[in-house]
Structure 1
Amino acid sequence: MNNLSPSDIQRINLPGKEIILVGTAHISQDSVDTVRRVIAEETPDAVCVELDEQRYQALKNQTQWESLNIIQVIKKGQAPFLMANLALASFQKRMGLQTGVKPGAELAAAAEAAEASNILVHLVDRNIRTTLLRAWRKTGLWKKMNLIATLLASMFESNQIDEKELARLRQSDTLSAMLEEMGTILPSVKTILVDERDIYMAHHIRNTAGDKIVAVVGAAHLPGIMKRLGEETPAAIIDEISRIPEKSTVSKLVPWIIPAVVILLFVIGFFFGDQQRIADAAMAWILANGLLAALGTLIAFGHPLTILAAFIGAPITSLNPTIGAGFVTGVVQAFVAAPTVRDMERVGDDLATLRGWWGNRMTRVLLVFLFSSLGSAVGTLVAFSWLKDLF
């Protein structure tokens, strides 16, 4: 059964230019065939695809994980972004397993067909890192927790998707389908993942050089892009939605305020409090941070030396806003249980299963980073409730 209807192929005539919009179902072989047929029949001057450079390279280079230096990722502070990327990849991988078509295959097919015919390919989607960081920084703390919970759930949920859900996913954008359910509680996320990208892609499709342009995008984006192709979007709007927002003042200050308050409480307690209570409070701080960070590392199946590093490091890193417990545990885990070549080769397949996440040494490093960080954060909150006794 063909998943694409005639309404999924739209012709839009602008002054001196014809744009053929092809709305695709991201996990459908029919979409792959349709994209190739349209490009062959239309012989356009250029082909635009709903990809950014990073996603395009990921589709072209199936062995990208083999060259990943996980230690450098952690040292550069990119582990949270990599985790978010892997959560999305995990969700997409499970969809592909049930259809036999890799998510994004029709976008790769569009680029391949264009290159084979010496037609220019234009990547018109916004950088995925910009999209994710805009979604993160434009939401409040509570909604950030909801976002994290949804990403975690997507990593570990069952592989089975019923036919009704599968039909819905066929007509959804693979980047935003996983977060669609959060539209009501996180409207800013939906706006950033879908609406802003519609504006961004419509602008770049409209301004692609050539008399005839074929643009291949997810079916979910068709209405928004068609709506915006008719007139030029002001450059100021494109600049704004292409920018990663600065961290809020509160976000910048909190990592410094928490250790400052803790140190101040200890100083006040030292000069004006009971010395035994100071010692008890210090022990409470060490145990709360150390034990919960170590527990998080244990849950991630961290190496015994990594668990020890979590216990020792968390009480110290909790007072240092420039380094987190996850940095220490992630680096230690990567050294003492370094990912093998086989781990790097299989990471794409292992993302699809819960066992794979824990069994693959590369993803286990990231799980150690994640759960030890969460453990240390909870430990800090628990310790605060004890430190009030210093007064």
Structure 2
Amino acid sequence: MSEQVATAGDDPGEGSVRVVGTAHVSADSVEEVERVIDEERPDVVAVELDEGRYRQMQGETPDDIEPGDLLRGNTVFQFIAYWMLSYVQTQMGEKFDIQPGADMLAACETAEEFGIDVALVDRDIQNTIQRFWARMSLREKLHMVGGLAFGVTDSRVVGLTAGLIVGLIAGPIIGLLGESVFGIGLPIMTRLTGGLLLAVVGSYVLDAVAQQFVDADRSLLYGIGGGLAVGIVGGVGLGLADPLVSAVLGDFAVRIVGSMTLGVSLGVLVGAVAGIAIDVLGLDAGAEEEYEEFDMAELTDTDVVSMMMEEFRQFSPGGAEALIDERDAYIAHNLVDLRAQGKHVVAIVGAGHREGIERYLAEPETLPPMESLTGTAESTGFPWGKLLAGAISVGFVAFFVLLAMAGVRNDFLLRLFAAWFVVNGVFAFGLAKLAGARWSSSLVGGLVAWMTSVNPLLAPGWFTGYVELRHTPVNVSDISTLNRLLSDEEKPLTDLVGEMFDVPLFRLIMIVAATNIGSIVASLLFVTYVLPLFGQELGGLDGVSRLMIDGARNSADLIWGALT
């Protein structure tokens, strides 16, 4: 255990505070907590808990997420951050065979046994996670979420998923620039479309055959890999499906399907290879081995804790400030108040907080104002996202306004807007439903997708999630369920994913993400495929450019005339 120091106030009438630093997953910490409280018999036992976590520890059901909170935008991401922190602690608890938070539970139960008051001195966890998320940079957030993915998901699945997302974005780019830049014309697009047809059929057949010899996880991998091989050789290489493609699909559809096929195929192939390489080389097993190297007795040693805190601070200075420094000050504020009331206090806190809290107790005049430690935190750094979102919104509105000012017919603009509405709506609706959303939730996401694409600061997934939460309660306890499922190393991956989708929080995250991805992909497809098709009516790219210049000139003349 770390050294425990009793800190008294300057006024003789003040009480004292003894800070006990614990490891939240240490059986030794539980014994030490019980012993210190028994020896000291303080007036108050202060614990590093807030009201919500205390009620959850007592077996009460946590509060549900309010649907309106989801519309604030970062609620889902904050739950992911909370999930990451909870998962790491749960994994360590399993390694050392102790329930996470057992030290705090022991402190509360021992205090109640001796009739001692318990003080909850930590900041509300939702406030902490919100500030933690807001203080992290975009790079740190991506790193953190990626670390969670590799820690809780098979690396092969992570690779395939990442490849699929990259491929969905790359497909429209290939469709836009393929012929002019890469020489990928209609004949190649026909081969690629035929390759997709054979790949789908081949994947289904090979997966069914492979299931007779290997487990479901491997059969799925073999099916996808084999299907891609069949599609590449038989469809792209030999053109076996070309007659069928030419007879059924038109040139426009072939161009869309072909370019998306190339983008997604390349993305999935590269992602799968990367995932298999990570799995074979064991590059995602470092965290597990690292747990086993820890001696639990060392986790409360000052030098070890300081080193771990410093490493986290180097990874995310802003995140460390919200998760460690601010909570040190918040807890110290409450302990100083208890001491000023003449109370003899034993404070049970994580070892990482002990040094900072004791420094504030010794010099309470250095404490920051309490109001600076609560409330919503603003994101740090330059608001590139807001700037980009504003530029997209202005550009979209300007495009329609300039065409209108150039004299383009209203029926053309209405058809163009209708196409924008339909393309965004279909993709957002379809992916939301595929992720398990209700019909009503998917419909709402589809109906607002056109608007959220115009203003990226909004997201159709928030609205889909809002409606979903009206019917399906989601709360913090779902994280414990997810951690329990993920700790089962024997369960087949397909069964694991199915059971995870049965957990409301995971399904909500997937629905929100799928709806947003659908809208993003739809916007790319519209700009790449649909807009050029409409542009042909106006004389192609050159014609559209001339009309927008004419519209700008007419707008300037109108404004100048009004001013003069």
TM-score (norm. length: structure 1)? 0.75
- 1:54 CA drift (Å): 2.0
Instruction: Using the aligned pairs only, state the percent identity.
Output: 29
1:207 maps to which of 337, 351, 354: 337
| Aligned counterpart, 2:288 | 162
Alignment partner of 1:226 is 2:361: no
Alignment partner of 1:98 is 2:95: yes
Contact in 2 for aligned 1:8/1:24 (Cα 8 Å): no
Change (3 A) 1:344 1:124: closer
| Aligned counterpart, 1:318 | 453
Q: Which structure has more helix as a fraction of its residues?
A: 2
Contact in 2 for aligned 1:46/1:213 (Cα 8 Å): yes
Contact in 2 for aligned 1:135/1:189 (Cα 8 Å): yes
Q: CA RMSD in A?
A: 4.3
- Correspondence list, 1:75-154, <5 A: 78-150=75-147
| Aligned counterpart, 2:516 | 373
2:31 maps to which of 27, 30, 33: 33
- Report SS of the residue matched to 1:26: coil
Alignment partner of 1:363 is 2:506: yes
| Aligned counterpart, 1:263 | 397
Contact in 2 for aligned 1:88/1:178 (Cα 8 Å): no
Change (3 A) 1:298 1:96: farther
Aligned residues: 377
- 1:19 CA drift (Å): 2.4
- 1:381 CA drift (Å): 6.8
- 1:311 CA drift (Å): 4.3
Contact in 1 for aligned 2:478/2:504 (Cα 8 Å): no
Change (3 A) 1:294 1:150: farther
| Aligned counterpart, 1:195 | 325
Tell me the distance in 2 between the aligned counterparts of 1:118 and 1:129.
Answer: 30
Tell me the distance in 2 between the aligned counterparts of 1:225 and 1:92.
Answer: 22
Contact in 2 for aligned 1:47/1:121 (Cα 8 Å): yes
Unaligned runs of 5+ in 2: 156-283, 301-306, 487-495, 533-540, 546-564
- Name the aligned partner's letter for residue 36 of structure 1: E
- 1:51 CA drift (Å): 1.3
Structure possessing the higher radius of gyration over alpha carbons: 2
- 1:364 CA drift (Å): 0.8
Contact in 1 for aligned 2:82/2:129 (Cα 8 Å): no
- Name the aligned partner's letter for residue 191 of structure 1: E
Unaligned runs of 5+ in 1: none
- Report SS of the residue matched to 2:363: coil
Tell me the distance in 2 between the aligned counterparts of 1:299 and 1:181.
Answer: 40
Worse-matched range after superposition: 247-256 or 213-222: 247-256
- Name the aligned partner's letter for residue 162 of structure 1: E
- 1:13 CA drift (Å): 4.3
| Aligned counterpart, 2:170 | none
Tell me the distance in 2 between the aligned counterparts of 1:132 and 1:328.
Answer: 22
- Name the aligned partner's letter for residue 20 of structure 1: R
Contact in 2 for aligned 1:91/1:155 (Cα 8 Å): no
- Report SS of the residue matched to 1:217: strand
Change (3 A) 1:235 1:347: closer
Change (3 A) 1:383 1:136: farther
Tell me the distance in 2 between the aligned counterparts of 1:299 and 1:98.
Answer: 36
Kindly provide the CA deviation profile for residues 24-48 of structure 1, in whole angstroms up to 9, marking residues without a partner as x: 1111222222212211121011111
Kindly provide the CA deviation profile for residues 177-206 of structure 1, in whole angstroms up to 9, marking residues without a partner as x: 999865334211112211222222223223
Tell me the distance in 2 between the aligned counterparts of 1:293 and 1:233.
Answer: 54
Change (3 A) 1:204 1:333: closer
